[in-house]
Structure 1
Amino acid sequence: MKIAHLILAHNNPRQLEKLVRRLIYADDAVYIHLDKKAPIDQYTYLKSIGNVYFVTNRVKVTWGANSIVGATINGFQQIINTGIAYDYVNLLSGSDYPLQKPDQVHAFFSQNMGKVFMSYMPILDEWQEAIARITCYHFTDFSFTGRFILQRLVNKILPKRTMPNNLIPVGHSQWFTVPTPCIQYILDYWKQNANFRRFIKLTWGPDEFVFQTILYNSPYQDQMVNDNLRLIDWSAGGASPKTFTMADKEALLQSDKLFARKFDLDQHADIMMLIDQGKLDNQNELVSA
């Protein structure tokens, strides 16, 4: 079993280091896409850990924009270009953290080889709040003055947009773990379908549905498990999930998920230390999905 972890990060080198050290195991590797707005010289020391690489084709990431899809694609491409036979690619943010030890993570994927772990819902039927992301024009990726005024005007004049290539749109959570052949399929589809790339550029929050949609409409659909193996708490409301604290100890203790998000080392280091000490390692055997 060999896993390539791709981390999308933009700040806090100390927390990123802690995440990297928790992930590195056996022949696994960590690839880091650092937002191009961040000074990379504060992070390059992480390469000394070993099997840690920075994505060279960096992107300036804007929240909710297509740029985060570009950053992810660039990371996937660098992993594929190595020619290393990774079994799985695991997409994480810099504020994620494993709940299980690396050997437990390996055991789980060894038992579930070939399965695709993503969270997804049909947008038109179940995740209807996301419909406007694809039916309306969004200029989030652009920076010219008055772009949102123009966006409103365009959406009043032009008809509703529809997904190209008769794709059924699905999505939900951005983060996932999938077999490497799925990554190659995603890259191939992205390269070979310029109309899809153009369409996605004018959507909002595409990172939460692009990759699920590609695989859902592919031969890999039968291998998809509707579970991204992450514990994420949205109970606080708002656009971002809750940051875990010691108050969440029991929820973390009882979870059988492999990873959780999100954490803050500066404000709540104690809960991360508890995980490191093994007190939150799930005592139940991880079983096949």
Structure 2
Amino acid sequence: MLKLGPGRLGASISAAFGCLLAAVVLVGCTPASETPPTLSSGTSGPRIASSPSPIIPSASATSGEPPLGSAQLLGSAAAMTVLAVGDSHARALGVGMANVSPNRLNLIINDAMGGCGIMESTQYKLSFSDLTDTPSACGTWPDRWAEDVKKYHPQAVFLTTSNWDYNPQMIDNSGKLMTLADEPFRKKFDANMDRAINILSASGAKVFLENSVPNPLMSGVMAAVAARHPGNTVLLDLQSQFCNGQVCPPVIGGITVNDESGHPFGESQNRLGRWLLNQIANTLHAAS
């Protein structure tokens, strides 16, 4: 059983239902924060120092200080069209990729929406709020993402909803809040992820997933999702950029990892944006 400490994972629940960044133009929102529920996970992740980075370590992680992304953008990480979709963490990392792509070095289309996952739920419950109706806009992802692919023809798509879909949600008429530890929730999450990957890869784009929620249950589920789509997906080890196997420090190399809402910001956001673009570029060039 994993129990998280006093820190918080971010979840944007703005009245506008999130942020939209299209052609690297940002319409802002203010992310709120959440404390994730406790899920049955078999084994726990690393110790969270002070406030957590929403990351679990990989088996190959070392005991040294995590690298926190990349200081330099590879020369090959250019002239790419990358679509970012998912929750507020996808939004934040999409902003990081845009920040380090000045003068349209890369075109980053950010259609991630804070406060929205992939579960098409009717209600959700955050630790600091009452039961809340899920905004209807959250259920538009199949049509929106299909239109994004048709309009922009991305070479790569960065998809993550794990931070939001870690929350208890009402997904059917049972009247019960469920999490990934419940079989009906897990089945729907798997089915919707499969559907999303099929939509996002329809024009040949590679879909990049990540493993950032600090719970081995979610990490294992994301690994299984990627394994079901070996030709279309890549599972990025984003966790290793924050954690070293024992601890997820709130400050790495003098850089604060997350803001008060639990989202990467500032130089942390930019370093992670560079790292994502470098990983995407390496994958695309290896496949060409």
TM-score, reference length from structure 1: 0.31
TM-score, reference length from structure 2: 0.31
- Bigger Cα Rg: 1
Q: Which structure exhibits the higher relative contact order, with contacts defined as CA atoms closer than 8 Å and separated by 6 or more residues?
A: 2
